[in-house]
Structure 1
């Protein structure tokens, strides 16, 4: 298809209408949730863009051309960015797992794990932007930015992207030195990937939190008798005649997973929080808001 065809009024209108159908509900829901949190002083509210030198760091994908310090770069075999303390402290990076397992809900009356994660992520981003911070998504190459336009870009990206496979793991492409980060997931996949990412984040001075989003059905395991278990993608199937007999072993494995996540965060200086989709998002958002304020 030619570039001209991609930009015809019909194509642009179709794309705009498609985005309009999915984007507003997420933003409206997130704005409503964010409004429940009293906006106090969040982040460092220095005048201007900050002028206290903090460090030089190697240039990363997504850094603006004008941000490169050419005098410092001339003394080395690479490009360097002059970073101020304010700029580092004011960046919040967010990752939302959108693999197949996150689309699960045990009841049509409550949101899927993915929808709740998206809402919490956007509500937290709204609070950060209103507090003068820059926000971004970890799976994109774009650097964090401030402003309402950035919130719209993030919401659109969250609605568009989908991770292949049953379970996802954090794969940050942008994680500025000294920034803060939050990863939303059910964290039911391979925990070694989480250990690797948080270890790398800690080495870069990045502080943050893991928010494990679970459906209450995943905590109760109220199955009995003949039951067919199937992964959300349909690639994993298991049938049993005595589902109830598996409950204790399942709950033990889930407890072990939570304990491992808590240990990973403890070792790396991060924090862990578990959220259930049958509960209001307000307590979790307030916890994140206060946690990030202390992590400055």
Structure 2
């Protein structure tokens, strides 16, 4: 599936007749290629084409997640995708209001449409996360969403680090930092919450005033460590904006345990682990080379 025309033709097979004229492509996602196109009535649609077979296998789980979070976030005027077409080769839904805070240029460079260090965004993000994290784990589990206990979260990181260390050469300094992190009881959550997992401006839609109107791509959502929804805010905007987000989060009812900020930083610093796991999934030599360089930068 290499061209816009191919994707438009695929949509037609599923009864969705769109125009290739003015259609655009977003290549930012690792799991899906996204095409935006209009139907004959002028309505804009989002077409998500899985990049790999394992992505298609997770569609049913994402559908459960969307059904769970949609009415909760709607209370704050935040929309999530409403899938009208769902098949192993295509997901399609009417475009949500607003525009992403971050996209990629044709050259693969980040193109910001907002200021990630905007205190107003930090405030709104904190409130959004408090609302999302308020969904009880029991309710999420009953809806078919994966639920990880605090012990399972920590063990999953141990397992992932072991897998990465077996497949790649990891610098001694990085390996020691990971060991210290896994052994530091203060960082790890006492309870887990319903998380998005990749909530950063590429997946957040904003209106002209900066209000959050929608959240996209719930592929990695599950009950997990609350810090996973805060790590990008630290990485993109720094310590001050992370603290501003946490202040708004707590004010809106979110629970801030003593090690939450430190854990958000650790999760940001753990990105080489995530990319290495991605490289093992794709098996692509370019991905493996990138992961190797991240894991052992002095080699």
TM-score, normalised via structure 1 length: 0.25
Larger Rg: 1
TM-score, normalised via structure 2 length: 0.25
